[in-house]
Structure 1
Amino acid sequence: MTQTWQLLAKHREQTADTSLLSLFDSADRFKSFSAEADGLLLDYSKTALDTTALSLLEHITTEVSLTDRISEMFNGEKINTTENRAVLHTALRAQTDEPITVDGENVLPAIRQTLQQMESYAEAVRCGSIHSNSGSKFTDVINIGIGGSDLGPAMATLALAPYHNGPRCHFVSNIDGAHIADTLKGLDPQTTLVIIASKSFTTIETMTNARTALDWLRAALGDDTSAHLAAVSTALDKTSTFGIAPERVFGFADWVGGRYSLWGPVGLPIMIAIGIENFRQFLNGAAAMDRHFRTAPFRNNLPMMLAATGIWHHNICGYDSRAILPYDQRLSRFPAYLQQLDMESNGKSVALDGSLLQRDSGPIVWGEPGTNGQHAFYQLLHQGTRVVPAEFLIAAQAHEADLAHHHQLLVANCLAQSEALMLGRSREDARVIAAKRGFSGDALEQMAGHLAFEGNRPSVTLAYPKLTPFVLGQLIALYEHRVFVEGVIWGLNSFDQWGVELGKELAVSLLPLVDGSAPAEAYSEKDGSTRGLLSKLTDPQS
């Protein structure tokens, strides 16, 4: 542990008894501990961070050469060292003509060409010039993918529902047959377009669902289903064999990781749903956050401040999870999206040099939209034995102007929860409430114990004008960069995911044991638990 980390831990020890509420004795607490960029406000004043802690955290970013690492990422250097790849999802939304090179080649012309190809195809689907076999406009689009090829576009399409003016979009990811069956059940194959999103066109979940969808199309249309198929893939030989015309295949380079890929061809269903101009606004919002991230000083830099709160809470305060709480129903998939972004990126115990990390890395990320969560897990947030830092998201305006009273209640609830987490309820106040409810004597003291809670629980709030395509782009890019900064500080590679490989390999080897095609001796190679479960799940008589 460096001296700076030691000083930070010592500072926490010395200030641990300071209440969050007392920090607001300073009249400029909110102003000094919040930051804003292009209308997006990050309030981190309800955390225990103070000027000393932030100075030490800024010094840590200097020690890990964060500025250099940011430049390396944006300039196309191969910072994904285990896969020898650049990390350039930012180039997919770049608003510059300055060359961005990988292996000496400027990647921007190919990116712009692919975006134009996407726009031409999406607009043709939307207006009906690309149509079904029968000549009808497509009414529905099914995107079949998994992981980054599903969660990103599914989340964003839902988030931008007020901007939908194209075919309805549906998303299938789970290999569980219920997912594809339930999706196909209400659709007409005569007017349905299927997009298969798999870079290698070999992902087992995606290809299993894709073949089921193809069978469904062929049952209604015959063998010629090419008009009803498109793909996001780089495996042109495999997409051709599947019956997809080359001009309907949209590829992206290996320097775009799956969980960072919705800015490019993986975002095709978003573009079909909301249109070209809105999709460009989505890219513009992310590009604005990119510029802010690269140029704003530490204390005014939203990704750096969000990362600073994360490092402070996780590594210094010892809080092992963070709750993402969007007070926006259309962001209901945002916590799951950030769960993948954060936990797949930074859920690691191995440093860049292959050694074991010396401190905890990524926390557990979870959440649900408000106000639903208030009637579920907020009990734990307020009175549980673990402190869970909360991250609230709230818009100043809703899209439903005729339901303004709904949004006023939503805002009031969001602000009330962050305030309640900080304030808590004293034993004295709890006694007063218990007395008003008719309790007295020992029963009053007992009830006061149940009604009191300590408060002093931290939260941050992200406030934005309205959930527009631009704002959604800002929010996603903000969290992308937060994950990157935390990964740099922890000294790990945020852009690979080797931990998921073994499970995939074992699933392939287990399938013959499940379907009964494996030789008998293969069962004996498995552990006792796996053999017992196989027996239970494959033998109806067991």
Structure 2
Amino acid sequence: MHSSLANHLPTWKELEKLKDAGFDLKAAFKNDPNRFETYSRKFTSRDKDVSLLFDFSKNFVDDNIFGKLVNLAREAKVEEKRDAMFAGEHINNTEDRAVLHIALRDRKREFKLNEPGVEDVIPELEHMHRFTDAVRSGEWKGYTGKKIRTIVNVGIGGSDLGPVMVYEALKYYSQRDLDMQFVSNIDGTHMVEALHNADPETTLFIIASKTFTTIETITNATTARDWFLGKAKDKSHIAKHFVALSTNEKAVTEFGIDKEQMFKFWDWVGGRYSLWSAIGLSIMLAIGYENFTAMLDGAHEMDVHFRTAKIEENIPMLLGLVGIWYNDFHNAQTHAILPYDQYMCKFADYFQQGDMESNGKSVAKDGSQVEYQTGPIIWGQAGTNGQHAFYQLIHQGTKLIPCDFIAPIETLNPVGDHHDILLSNFFAQPEALAFGKTEEEVRAELGNNVSNVALVKSKVFKGNRPTNSILIQRITPKSLGSLIAMYEHKIATQGFVWNINSFDQMGVELGKVLARKIQPLLQSNDPKKVEEDGHDSSTTGLIKYYLANRKQ
């Protein structure tokens, strides 16, 4: 009987043997002076306005291993699964949905998709265009006739992480007289702090919830409405200060939002892929329609590359395969994303959700239990801050942590020697991780202190730590779009190999269900009801302790 599990593929066993043989990066570079040329790839958009270099030469890869990884992808039918996604097949089999975030950035309809809703993508984009132009220009005014000055995006998950990340990444291109705030946490502190300097007369709220029932978002939206009406009084004024990103017209209008200011998206748009849709309204308000569509176009260019390039040249696929090599064969539990640009300070946070919610699965698409590691733990921070925080562990710790180093060749803010200093660290860190420092080199440096054995040993860097290096020309809306799409497709590639559904997120549900059960207990303030509710002794004890010690 045919198995759907990746570790039953013939090449999987061959890769296990190759792993056992070990790999020495220092020897690999010494033996192959052309290693960089062999194991690097370039992406250029068709208009030549986006360029990206992907260097994976500092990885445990030689011709044999590279060939086996490519064979693994072919045996796992990665290309066929990719084509099924681009054809609009319902590859999200648990929810019986197509996976068509690619349609949101296909402005010229190159992919010829026929899924219901695709024909509405451009009209909805134009709806966003008209509204954002009106707000940015001052034509759209609040209930007292004043121009909007503060925009508060209220959402959670993909409705927050995507807009926040892109806003930070493209802040250079933003309209600076608009104060952008993002509220996600149900903790009231988040909303209170966001509104601290806001004026109800000049504040616009974006309520991002597909169903308009997400408890965190609707609770925050209700608090925002109460704050607004505390000054505005008249509920009819809500229409000038609240818009919705949703599909639930009834709930939206009952809230007080004009149905004309409801921006829609579709069930084939997953939350972690939704920044390209109406969920990106806050992004468009900040950077404008032209920059927003440039971002869409950059993502589309990477979509075309992912769809058409053969595996050996396909950058997202290669990123994914190299990641699998460490995750499944070298026992690497985590993967670090390290952008050397302050504008990209939220990039790792965004792909923490993008990767871990997509591939944090233990069930294959046929319902069988997987027998191998799936999604890694994703983390990271903007360089060089991370160097003074956690690089110690990456360099000299006991865990293997593959890293992606990302940097722009050109800075948007040329100030003195800052960029050269930043980029010198970008080049130095992967080199140090790969090649380390020998005990002989340490002894030569220490001179008279060489008798301190502990000092000598602590200064040795074993090296042989794998990294990818990714260079883009500069951070623009279009290059950022390409970079985001590259990582989206890397994640999809890994899911295709592992034969899991990367496009549902059932793991987020159980905790929500239990929270809804616990909330009435907290509101009742009755310890006896807690005892009767059937929770385990730990949860019961914690709730009772909370009730006994809180101050009403």
Cα deviation for residue 446 of structure 1 reads 2.2
Of 80-89 and 69-78, the range deviating more from structure 2: 69-78
Q: Give the alignment of 1:429-508 within 5 angstroms.
A: 429-435=441-447, 438-441=448-451, 443=452, 445-508=453-516
The answer to whether the 8 A contact 1:21-1:456 is kept is no
Identity rate, percent? 43
Distance in 2 (alpha carbons) for counterparts of 1:17 and 1:493: 32
Q: Which amino acid aligns with 2:243?
A: A
Q: Which amino acid aligns with 1:26?
A: D
1:442-492 CA-partner distances (Å, limit 9, x unpaired) = x2x221011112011000011001111001101110000000000010010
Cα deviation for residue 22 of structure 1 reads 3.1
Cα deviation for residue 304 of structure 1 reads 0.8
Distance in 2 (alpha carbons) for counterparts of 1:74 and 1:518: 54
Q: Which residue of 2 aligns with 1:374?
A: 387
Q: Which residue of 2 aligns with 1:317?
A: 330
Cα deviation for residue 541 of structure 1 reads 7.7
Distance in 1 (alpha carbons) for counterparts of 2:99 and 2:170: 27
Please say if 1:28 is aligned against 2:34.
Answer: yes
Give the total of aligned pairs: 533
Cα deviation for residue 95 of structure 1 reads 3.7
Of 475-484 and 56-65, the range deviating more from structure 2: 56-65
Distance in 2 (alpha carbons) for counterparts of 1:323 and 1:24: 27
Q: CA RMSD in A?
A: 1.5
Q: Which amino acid aligns with 2:144?
A: S
1:294-346 CA-partner distances (Å, limit 9, x unpaired) = 11122211101101110111112221110010101111111010100000000
The answer to whether the 8 A contact 1:513-1:523 is kept is no
Distance in 1 (alpha carbons) for counterparts of 2:431 and 2:38: 18
Counterpart secondary structure, 1:520: helix
Q: Which residue of 1 aligns with 2:145?
A: 135
Q: Which amino acid aligns with 1:507?
A: A
Match of 2:296 among 280, 283, 290: 283
Of 155-164 and 425-434, the range deviating more from structure 2: 425-434
Q: Which residue of 2 aligns with 1:534?
A: 543
Please say if 1:114 is aligned against 2:121.
Answer: no
Distance in 2 (alpha carbons) for counterparts of 1:526 and 1:72: 44
Q: Give the alignment of 1:369-408 within 5 angstroms.
A: 369-401=382-414, 403-408=415-420
1:22-48 CA-partner distances (Å, limit 9, x unpaired) = 335312111110111121111100001
Q: Which residue of 1 aligns with 2:5?
A: none
Q: Which amino acid aligns with 2:424?
A: A
Please say if 1:193 is aligned against 2:199.
Answer: no
Distance in 2 (alpha carbons) for counterparts of 1:214 and 1:430: 64
Of 63-72 and 264-273, the range deviating more from structure 2: 63-72
Counterpart secondary structure, 1:311: helix
Label 1:69 to 1:136 Cα distance change in 2 as closer, same or farther (>3 A): same
Label 1:481 to 1:20 Cα distance change in 2 as closer, same or farther (>3 A): farther
1:148-179 CA-partner distances (Å, limit 9, x unpaired) = 00000110011001101262211000011111
Label 1:541 to 1:122 Cα distance change in 2 as closer, same or farther (>3 A): closer
Distance in 1 (alpha carbons) for counterparts of 2:157 and 2:119: 28
Cα deviation for residue 519 of structure 1 reads 8.3
The answer to whether the 8 A contact 2:9-2:75 is kept is no
Please say if 1:203 is aligned against 2:211.
Answer: no
Q: Which runs of 5+ in 2 are unaligned?
A: 1-7, 45-50
Label 1:538 to 1:270 Cα distance change in 2 as closer, same or farther (>3 A): same
Distance in 1 (alpha carbons) for counterparts of 2:263 and 2:454: 65
State the TM-score, normalized to the length of structure 2: 0.94
Match of 2:15 among 8, 17, 40: 8
Q: Which residue of 2 aligns with 1:163?
A: 173
Q: Which runs of 5+ in 1 are unaligned?
A: none
Distance in 2 (alpha carbons) for counterparts of 1:178 and 1:369: 26
The answer to whether the 8 A contact 1:61-1:489 is kept is yes
Distance in 2 (alpha carbons) for counterparts of 1:21 and 1:424: 13
Q: Which residue of 2 aligns with 1:42?
A: 54
Match of 2:252 among 213, 218, 239: 239
Q: Which amino acid aligns with 1:488?
A: F
1:380-439 CA-partner distances (Å, limit 9, x unpaired) = 0000000101110000011112x041111110011111111011111111222332xx42
